[in-house]
Amino acid sequence: MKHLLTTVIVFCAVSAIATQAVAVPMSQPSDTPHAVTGRECVLWPGTWKFIGSDTLTGAEVTGFVDREWTAVTVPHTWNSWTQLQTYASAWYRSRFTVARGLGDRRTYIVFEGVTTIAEVFVNGQRVGGHRGAYTRFIVDATDALKPGPDNVLAVKVSNDRPSTADCLPSGRSSKSLFHFYGGIYRKVWLLTTNAVHIDPTESASSGVFVLPTKVGPDVAEFGVKTLIRNTSATPRTLTVKNRFLDAQNREVAVIEGNVTVVAQGRGAITLKGALAKPQLWGPGHPSLYRIRTELAEDGGVRDITEERTGFRSFTMDNGNFILNGARTQLRGVCKHQETEAHASAVTDQELIEDWDNLSDLGVNFARLAHYPHARLEYDQADERGILVWCENGHISATPVTENGKQLTREMVLQNFNHPSIALWSAGNEADNLKTVQTTDAYAAVIKAEDTSRPVTYADDGNLTVELAPHLDFVSKNTYPGWYSVGMGVAAIWTLNLPYISETGGGGVISTHTEHDRASHKVDRFEPIEYQQWIAEARLQATCHDQKDQVQMLAWWMFRDVGNLKYKGLNTKGLLTYAGFRKDTYYLFKAFLRPGTPLVHITSQTYFLRPETTTAIKVYANMPTLTLTLNGTRLATQNNGDYKQPNGPTVNNVFYWPVTLQPGKNTIVASDGNGHEDSCVITAPSSDQAAWVKNVQSSNPTNPAYFIDQAVQAEWPFYAEYDGTADNTFHTLPAAVEGACWIATKRLSKSGNETALSFTLSRPATVFVMFTDKGAVPPFPKDFTDTGIRTEWRDNNMNLVPCRLISKKVATGESVKLDAMLLDYVILVKLDPMKN
C-alpha cells in the first residue's frame, strides 16, 4: 500500500452504519456522541435545484437566480434508458446553513458518485472536482464557508462522452456495454471534524486500513494503518487506539501507539495485533468485526471512526480458489447498479431488494460489473456472506491515463476493508492485443495498493497472464448457443474454461415458442424458452457434469439493464428490468439451493397457447414430481429423466407433453409432500367461460379469447408472442385486482384493429385500460372515467401513461367496443356475491 499517503478515504462512517437502510459513507461510530468525538456526518442538509444546459455559465455565483430551476432530490439523474441525449451538461445548486462558532473545525463535502465530470463551488469559490463516475470524492469546503444560512453549493456536471477520454469508462469507446446516466446519482454527505482528525482526503477512503498478514482458525494476525490530518498551526502528538469489537459488541482486541503529525500536515501509523480463535468470515457464516479507531491528545478524544471487516483467507492454489483453507467454487451472477424506476440513481431500498433476491437465489458470488458500485452493495455482501468481484470500469481499448490509474486506486482504497471483496478486476473486454499494456498498467496499480487479493480481467479474446503479468488469472466471457455455436454443442461449452466471467442468453417474458422448437435471433426475437435452454445447459455443466473443471461461473446477468440491444434493453437477466423473476431465476435457485424445496411451472406468461398440443416444463429440486391437468394425474417423473431436444440430460427439469382442453386448463405440479406450484393455461375455444359468453372479434386475423384467470402485475396481456407485442402491465391499480381479461393480438398494430363484443351471465364491472395520449378515444358513452392514472409498457417496453374507464354490466347485458388503432385491454371483474 505504498501510495496510501497520496490517496485516502472520503467518508465518515463507511462501515459502521452499514446495517441501516441509509448507509453512512464515512467512518463514524453509531453509538458515540458527536460532542465527544468532534465528528459529524449527515446526509446533505439542503434542498436541490437543477437545470440541464450545455451553454449555461456563471451559476456558481452566490447571487445567481435559480428560482425557475427544477426542484429535485439527490440521488438524481437527468437521463433514463429511453432518453439519453437531451443534453450533456447540467448544474445543481443547494443552499445550506453553517453553524456559528466552528473555530478551527474542518467541513468536508462527500460525493458518493457523479456522472461523469464534476466541478464543485461553495459561495462562488471552486473547492474541488472529480473526473470519473463510479468512485466517490471529497472536497474541503472550510475556507469558502460563512456562518449563517446563506451558503450556496453549486455543482457543474458534465456527461459529455468525448470529454471523458481519461476516465473509466472512457468516452472514446465505440463499445456501449451500458448507459452512463448523467447526474449526482449517489448520495452527498456533509462531514465536520476537529482540526486534528482521521484523514478522509486520501482517495476518499476511510483513512483506516486493516492489513491481515496471517489468518486461520487459531489466530488472525494483522496490522491497522491509520491516516491522520492536522490542519492546525502547531505539531500534534497523538495516541491512536484501534479497538476490535465482535458481533456482541465485546472488545476482543486492542492495539495502540503514538504518532506526531506536523502542523498543516499528514501522518500515518501502522499498529500490529493478533486475535485468537477469530470467527472467520465466509458464505454461510459472515462474521464481522467493528474496528473503532480513537484519536486522542492529552487524555481527550479528538476523533473516533469505525470500520467493519471480517477475517478470512482467500488465495489461489493450482488454479483453485481456497477460502479459509477449503476449495471454494464460485457460482453466481453479474450485476449492474440500475433499475427501471431510477436508472443509476437507485434507492437504498432497491439495492437491498436486489441483495434479498441474491440471497434467495443462493449465489455465493457476485460480479459487480463493470465499475465500482455503491458502498451499500459491498456492505450487503459483507453481511450476507457473498463473495464479490470489484471492477474498475476499464471497458475500452484506449491508452492508460493518469486519471484512470487514480480511479483504479480509489476503487481499491475506498473498498479495502470489505471481506466480501475477493477479486479485483482491471477491466472488461477492453483490449485488443495491441493495447494490452493498458490493462496490465491498471492491474499494476491494484497490486501496488493491495497484494492480498487476486487480480483478474474479463476477456473475450486471447489475453493471457503472459501478456499482462500483473494479472493473477484471466477470466473468459463466452456465449455459445447465443452469439455463436448451436445448442447441439452448448452443453459441453465449459471444457478448458475454468473461469467464466460472463455467459448467458436473452429472454423476454412476453415472447414465446414451444419448448421443443425453441429458437432465437439476437436482438430481434428472444423467447424466454430459449433462455431456459441455455441456462439449463450451463447449470448442468457447471454444477454437475463438469463442476470440477469450472472454478467460477457468473451468469450474465442478474437483472435486465438499459443497453442498445433488444428494443433498448439487454434482456439476459434472471429478473426483468422491473425486477420480475423470470423462469431462469427459479432454475438457478433449484441448482444453488438443493436443500430448499422449490417447484416452479415455467412459461406461465405463455398464457394462451395457439394449439391444444403443447408441453409443460417444471423446474424443481425434488426427487420426483407429478403433474395434474384439470384434475387428472399424469405420469410421475424422476429428477434426471429430462433430456433437452438436442440430447443432454439436465437435472432439476421435469417435462410433460400434454393435450389441453379448449378454454381454461388448471395445472398443478406437486411432489406429494406439500411442495407444489399451479397455473392456468388457456387453449382456443368458442365458449371459454360460464360467465363470459359470445366473445367476438370482427377481424378474422385477430381473434379474441377470454382468459379466465386474474391479471398479474408485470405480465403481458396480448396473445402475440413473436416480439411484436411486448406490451406488459406494470403495477396494477387495486380496482382491477382479481379481474380477468380478453386477449387479442396487439391492437395498436396496423391490421389488428377489431371491434370486440361479449355478453355477461353474471353482474360484473368491465374496465378498459388504455394508453393515455391526452384525448379519450371514442369508447362507448356509458363508460365513465375512474380517475385512475398509472403506467404500463408499450411494445417497445417503455413505461407510458395509461388510464382506466369502467361501467357496471348486468346479467345478460352485452358490451361492444368499436375498432381502434390503440393499445387497450378489456378487463372483467365479477361483482361480489350477495348472501
Assign residue 98 the CATH number of its domain: 2.60.120.260
Q: Which helix (H) or strand (E) holds 117?
A: strand 117-122
How far is the C-alpha of 674 from the C-alpha of 598, rounded, in Å? 11
Beta carbons of 267 and 260 less than 8 angstroms apart: yes
In 236-374, which ranges are continuous DSSP H helix?
348-361
Q: What is the CATH number of the domain that holds 264?
A: 2.60.40.10
Predicted local distance difference test score (pLDDT) of residue 625? 98
Beta carbons of 106 and 119 less than 8 angstroms apart: no
441 in the same domain as 549: yes
**Side-chain half-sphere exposure of 369, counting CA atoms within 13 A:** 28
What digits encode the pLDDT tens for the residues 459-476? 999 999 999 999 999 999
pLDDT at 165 over 80: yes
Q: What is the domain extent for residue 240?
A: 208-312
What digits encode the pLDDT tens for the residues 519-550? 999 999 999 999 999 999 999 999 999 999 99
527 in the same domain as 472: yes
φ/ψ of residue 99, rounded to 5: -65, 150
Tell whether 600 is covered by a domain: no
Predicted local distance difference test score (pLDDT) of residue 8? 28
Predicted local distance difference test score (pLDDT) of residue 174? 55
Predicted local distance difference test score (pLDDT) of residue 37? 55
306 in the same domain as 323: no
* pLDDT confidence bin for 33, thresholds 50/70/90: very low
SS3 for 25-80, per residue?
A: CCECCCCCCHHHHCCEEEECCCCEEEEECCCCCCCCCCCCCCCCCEEECCCCCCCE
* Percent of the chain clearing pLDDT 90 (strictly above): 86
Cross-strand partners of 664: 682
- Going by C-alpha positions, the residue among 509, 174, 169 that lies closest to residue 344 is 169
How far is the C-alpha of 516 from the C-alpha of 505, rounded, in Å? 17
Which of helix, strand or coil describes residue 598? Answer: coil
Tell whether 665 is covered by a domain: no
Beta carbons of 439 and 399 less than 8 angstroms apart: no
Cell of 661: 382442453
Predicted local distance difference test score (pLDDT) of residue 835? 47
* pLDDT confidence bin for 495, thresholds 50/70/90: low
Predicted local distance difference test score (pLDDT) of residue 647? 74
Report CA dihedral (551, 553, 554, 555) to the nearest 10 degrees. 180
Cell of 682: 388457456
What digits encode the pLDDT tens for the residues 89-98? 999 999 999 9
- Going by C-alpha positions, the residue among 161, 178, 549 that lies closest to residue 335 is 178
φ/ψ of residue 5, rounded to 5: -85, 0
How far is the C-alpha of 374 from the C-alpha of 189, rounded, in Å? 14
276 in the same domain as 176: no
pLDDT at 124 over 50: yes
Beta carbons of 711 and 739 less than 8 angstroms apart: yes
**Average pLDDT of the chain to the nearest whole number:** 92
Tell whether 1 is covered by a domain: no
pLDDT at 36 over 60: no
pLDDT at 615 over 60: yes
Ramachandran class of 437: left when φ > 0, alpha when ψ lies in -120 to 50, beta otherwise: alpha
Predicted local distance difference test score (pLDDT) of residue 488? 56
* Of 193, 217, 252, the domain-final residue: 193
497 in the same domain as 358: yes
pLDDT at 32 over 70: no
Predicted local distance difference test score (pLDDT) of residue 175? 66
pTM: 0.94
The stretch 63-84 carries a mean pLDDT of 94
Beta carbons of 117 and 88 less than 8 angstroms apart: no
488 in the same domain as 374: yes
What digits encode the pLDDT tens for the residues 368-421? 999 999 999 999 999 999 999 999 999 988 899 999 999 999 999 999 999 999
Q: Which helix (H) or strand (E) holds 403?
A: helix 402-414
What digits encode the pLDDT tens for the residues 222-236? 999 999 999 999 999
Tell whether 715 is covered by a domain: yes
pLDDT at 347 over 50: yes
pLDDT at 23 over 50: no
Predicted local distance difference test score (pLDDT) of residue 332? 98
* pLDDT confidence bin for 489, thresholds 50/70/90: low
What digits encode the pLDDT tens for the residues 630-669? 999 999 999 999 999 877 899 999 999 999 999 999 999 9
559 in the same domain as 572: yes
327 in the same domain as 283: no
303 Cβ partners below 8 Å, 6+ apart? 37, 38, 39, 193, 194, 196, 197, 198, 294, 295
Tell whether 198 is covered by a domain: no
The stretch 441-456 carries a mean pLDDT of 98
Tell whether 565 is covered by a domain: yes
- Going by C-alpha positions, the residue among 303, 230, 228 that lies closest to residue 264 is 230
Lowest mean pLDDT among 506-520, 685-699, 811-825: 685-699
Predicted local distance difference test score (pLDDT) of residue 172? 74
475 in the same domain as 417: yes
Tell whether 15 is covered by a domain: no
What digits encode the pLDDT tens for the residues 796-807? 999 999 999 999
**Structural domains in the chain (count):** 4
φ/ψ of residue 543, rounded to 5: -100, -15
* pLDDT confidence bin for 810, thresholds 50/70/90: very high
The stretch 94-113 carries a mean pLDDT of 94
Write the single-letter amino acid at 271: L
* pLDDT confidence bin for 337, thresholds 50/70/90: very high
216 in the same domain as 158: no
Q: How many CB atoms lie within 10 A of CB 282?
A: 21
pLDDT at 622 over 90: yes
456 in the same domain as 321: yes
How far is the C-alpha of 360 from the C-alpha of 598, rounded, in Å? 11
pLDDT at 7 over 60: no
Q: What is the CATH number of the domain that holds 491?
A: 3.20.20.80
* Of 141, 166, 193, the domain-final residue: 193
Lowest mean pLDDT among 27-31, 48-52, 500-504: 27-31
Predicted local distance difference test score (pLDDT) of residue 28? 47
260 in the same domain as 329: no
* Of 531, 557, 592, the domain-final residue: 592
Predicted local distance difference test score (pLDDT) of residue 782? 93
Tell whether 624 is covered by a domain: no
Beta carbons of 459 and 13 less than 8 angstroms apart: no
